[in-house]
Amino acid sequence: MTVNLLKRLGLNKYNVDKNSHIQVNTDICLTCKDKPCTKVCPAGTYEPSPDGRIIVHYERCLECGAALVACPYGAIKFTFPEGGISYKYG
Amino acid sequence: MSFDADVIIVGGGLAGLSTAITANREGLSTIVLERGEYSGSKNVSGGRMYTHALLQLFPDALERAPLERPVTKETYEVFCDEGKKITFSFEHKTKNSYTILRAKFDQWLAKEAENEGVLISYSTLVTNARREKDYIVVETNRGELKAPLIVDAGGVTSPVSRFLGIKKLEPKTLMLGVKEILDVKPNLPEDEGEARTIMGLIGNLKGGGFVYTNKDTLSVGVTIKVESLYNSNLPSHEIVERFREALGIEGNILEYSAHLIPYYGYDKLSNLYDRNLIVVGDAAGFLINDGFNIRGMDLAIGSGIVAGKALKKIKEMNDYSKTDIYYEMLKESFVLRDLKTALRSFKVLNEEEIFTKYPKILCNTLSKLFTVTSDGKERPINVLITESKNENVNTTKMLSDIMRLFI
């Protein structure tokens, strides 16, 4: 039984800021072939765009911190959000 | 100079709260800054705590704390190709460790701290920190606070240390944990629980998985070296799901969470203290994996207790640069002693072959040893040498690695 990622993320409680807590220099993404940010994030926050840049779905973020170390070129600036995710059970 | 408190603790998890409770009992004025709306709302852990450190803080914790189940059965499972699997189980009716759910447990611990007089400021996000002449200012979404002693208890991403420029996160010293909680009630008596450690079900990724039985739920998760995810063909958000399906566990998912895990080892620890600053718990990189135990929570509480006592000594000296006192006390505690003891095993368990080649060699060797045909039998050591050669592994090194886990 495969559960859609968005359904799984929807189980959590979010208080999303109006402004993204993640900033990406997408010009740098153009030069990055492997796009490790898309591989590392367990919430699908970083999605490759057909134009070679990155689309950021910051409202999905689980605040695990993986993005802090994911980009080898320093294109991602990540700060923890005010509000953000709250876990009920974990 | 007037300060907002003797000590400001950034992070209201296990390490921060243990520091706060101890420092408060030692007579220091203490403020905890917690970015979640309650303690535990941001915390993710596999979910197993060895309770000895908690019992130092609260001797009656086993009766009062919201623990889930005592771990009375330890199971190791190594999955190999072609349906082969090695299983090892050990049962012991003990209360040495419990499964826990941090959203419940940390709230309880925070309430205990508040009842003892600790001030916790929730929904308070530290956005920066800067050093002034002989104190540190923390900038928050509620304004600035200053204190001569700051404790970085902000978890693996150690925010204060990073803001002060004394720590940089590197992927090689971090693992990613991804976890689901399922509404599956374990088929066990209420005073029994199981911890399963599982290898071989996440492809070529460096890491493993776990299943812990809670009172009415299961915690199912994987831990993976961040670097190994870079070359993965499987998106990280599908890994835990594939793992659960491979184990045949079915149930409704109640929660999906993720967290970084520090993986430094005793010889790579740094950033434990600085002028006006003490670092505890995950922020200090305290994690032990020696093959028998994977521990972080008792080290967080233990380092917090040591920190609280050290803070008192530093205040009494009226010299807030003397935070090395914390390090000296830490060396005498179980925290650094156990980390040092575990170093050899930790290094072995950090090697790639452990995840990728050794399980296959052991499975194939055992498969041959348990098979009888008319072709005749080989001596076990010869089977092992052949299987090692097939995987381009030096048999002596493999046996040496396995021995290093015990010696």
First to last CA, chain B: 54
- Which of A11, A42, A89 lies at the smallest CB-CB distance from B101? A89
* Beta-carbon count within 10 A of B346 CB: 22
H or E element, residue A36: helix A36-40
DSSP letter at A42 equals T
Residue in B closest to A47 by C-alpha: B235
- Which of A2, A39, A90 lies at the smallest CB-CB distance from B103? A90
Report chain A residues whose CB lies below 8 A from the CB of B176.
40, 42, 64, 66
* Interchain CB contact of B22 with A (< 8 Å): no
- Which of A8, A39, A85 lies at the smallest CB-CB distance from B229? A39
| Chain B closest-CA separation from residue A25 CA (Å) | 20
**The pLDDT of residue B370 is above 60:** yes
Q: What is the pLDDT of residues B89-115, one digit of tens each?
A: 999 999 999 999 999 999 999 999 999
| Chain B closest-CA separation from residue A30 CA (Å) | 17
* Interchain CB contact of B138 with A (< 8 Å): no
What is the predicted pLDDT for the residue at A1? 47
* Interchain CB contact of A3 with B (< 8 Å): yes
The two tokens of residue B98 are 């419990």
Average pLDDT, chain B: 95
**The pLDDT of residue B2 is above 70:** yes
Q: Is A75 left (phi over 0), alpha (psi -120 to 50) or beta?
A: alpha
- Which of B159, B171, B255 lies at the smallest CB-CB distance from A89? B255
Confidence of residue B407 (pLDDT cuts 50, 70, 90): confident
DSSP letter at A12 equals S
- Which of A2, A42, A87 lies at the smallest CB-CB distance from B41? A87
Q: Please state, in angstroms and rounded to a whole number, the distance separating the CA atoms of residues B219 and B211.
A: 6
Q: What is the pLDDT of residues B308-356, one digit of tens each?
A: 999 999 999 999 999 999 999 999 999 999 999 999 999 888 888 888 8
Q: Please state, in angstroms and rounded to a whole number, the distance separating the CA atoms of residues B220 and B173.
A: 23
Whether residues B256 and A8 touch (CB distance < 8 A) is answered with yes
What is the predicted pLDDT for the residue at A2? 61
* Interchain CB contact of A74 with B (< 8 Å): no
Highest mean pLDDT pick, A69-73, B41-45, B118-122: B118-122
* Interchain CB contact of B343 with A (< 8 Å): no
What is the predicted pLDDT for the residue at B81? 81
User: Most A CBs within 10 Å: which of B142, B249, B255, as the mutation test of the A interface?
Assistant: B255
Whether residues A87 and B237 touch (CB distance < 8 A) is answered with no
Report chain B residues whose CB lies below 8 A from the CB of A43.
237, 258
| Distance (Å) of CA B350 to CA B43, B69, B346 | 25, 30, 6
Whether residues B102 and A87 touch (CB distance < 8 A) is answered with yes
Question: Is residue A5 classed as helix, strand or coil in its secondary structure?
Answer: helix
**pLDDT tens-place values along chain A, 90 residues long:** 467 899 999 999 999 988 999 999 999 999 999 899 999 999 999 999 999 999 999 999 999 999 999 999 999 999 999 999 999 887
- pTM for the model stands at 0.96
**The pLDDT of residue B128 is above 80:** yes
Q: What is the pLDDT of residues B214-267, one digit of tens each?
A: 999 999 999 999 999 988 888 888 999 999 999 999 999 999 999 999 999 999
Residue in B closest to A3 by C-alpha: B241
Whether residues A2 and B229 touch (CB distance < 8 A) is answered with no
| SS3 track for chain B | CCCCCCEEEECCCHHHHHHHHHHHHCCCCEEEECCCCCCCCCCCCCCEEECHHHHHHCCCHHHHCCCCCECCEEEEEEECCCCCEEEEEEECCCCCEEECCHHHHHHHHHHHHHHCCCEEECCCCEEEEEECCCCEEEEECCEEEEECEEEECCCCCCHHHHHCCCCCCCHHHEEEEEEEEECCCCCCCCCCCEEEEEECCCCCCCEEEEEEECCCCEEEEEEEEHHHHCCCCCCHHHHHHHHHHHHCCCCCEEEEEEEEEECCCHHHCCCCEECCEEECHHHHCCCEECCCCEECHHHHHHHHHHHHHHHHHHHHHCCCCCCHHHHHHHHHCHHHHHHHHCHHHHHHHCCHHHHHCHHHHHHHHHHHHCCCCCCCCCCHHHHHHHHHHHCCCCHHHHHHHHHHCCC
What is the predicted pLDDT for the residue at A6? 92
Residue in A closest to B180 by C-alpha: A90
Over range B170-199, report the average pLDDT: 96
What is the predicted pLDDT for the residue at B126? 98
What is the predicted pLDDT for the residue at B96? 96
Report chain A residues whose CB lies below 8 A from the CB of B237.
5, 8, 41-44
Confidence of residue B3 (pLDDT cuts 50, 70, 90): very high
What is the predicted pLDDT for the residue at A18? 87
ipTM of the complex: 0.95
